[in-house]
Structure 1
Amino acid sequence: MNDSAPQTETPGEGARAPREDDPAAPAPLNVPRTPTGDAGVDAGLERLADADHLATDGHLEVYEDVHRGLRDALTALDVRPGPPGPPPPHHQSRS
């Protein structure tokens, strides 16, 4: 081995890389996520992909975050002003 040549580290050296045959390693669920057209909802759906790279004990934080975002999106639907309703009937007073 030549001491003057820098050694390159192969991927996975130094840190424990997950093995494909390790049943405890995180595995993507590969659940398809279809865009809805609502930016907030779509961001939440994409956030679910973060759980694919976490161990099971890390999923709860992602799911709670997504649930909070979806709940906020639904709440925002209740707050948005809708189309104006019909004007109140005009009653003429009798004199």
Structure 2
Amino acid sequence: MSDWTPEAGTPPVSTPDEPEDGEPAAAAPSHEPAGPAPLGIVRTPTGHAAVDARLERLADADHLPADGHIEVYEDVHRGLRAELTSLDARPAAVPGPPGTPSAYDNTHDHRS
């Protein structure tokens, strides 16, 4: 540390953080990645509760850094595929009168 002090009438020396006019300098640009920020994408409800729940899961990506988005997107994709696949599944058998086999009952031979 120095004991030197400026003499009266000597202009102050500016530092790199303070320009000569005495105002603080603007912050230097950061080279760090920006934090997570919502994209503001509106998700319109489809009316199908299971699909809407999967689409709402996309909002979880808004709070994650970019490298965490893939996990959310893959999860949503798997869920939507499962919902679409379920549309191709056979409907549950509708019970008929007792003793009447269902149209989807594979336990009986219906060729007779």
Q: TM-score, normalised by structure 1?
A: 0.60
1:76 aligns with 2:78: no
Aligned partner of 1:32 in structure 2 is 42
List alignment gaps of at least 5 residues for structure 1.
1-20, 82-95
Q: How many residues align?
A: 62
SS of the counterpart of 2:45? coil
**TM-aligned CA deviation for residue 23 of structure 1:** 5.0
Q: Hey, which bits of structure 1, 4+ residues long, moved more than 4 A? A: none
**TM-aligned CA deviation for residue 39 of structure 1:** 1.1
Matches within 5 A, 1:9-20: none
**TM-aligned CA deviation for residue 74 of structure 1:** 0.3
Kindly name which structure, 1 or 2, has the bigger radius of gyration based on alpha carbons.
2
Aligned partner of 2:60 in structure 1 is 50
| Distance (whole Å) between structure 2 residues aligned to residue 43 and residue 62 of structure 1 | 13
| Distance (whole Å) between structure 2 residues aligned to residue 26 and residue 48 of structure 1 | 14
% same residue? 74
What amino acid maps onto 2:57 in structure 1?
R
**TM-aligned CA deviation for residue 51 of structure 1:** 0.2
SS of the counterpart of 2:62? helix
**TM-aligned CA deviation for residue 80 of structure 1:** 4.1
Q: TM-score, normalised by structure 2?
A: 0.51
1:39-68, CA deviations, whole angstroms, 9 ceiling, x for partnerless residues?
111011100000000000000000000000
More helix by share: 1
What amino acid maps onto 1:30 in structure 2?
G
Aligned partner of 1:85 in structure 2 is none
Give the superposed CA RMSD.
Answer: 2.0
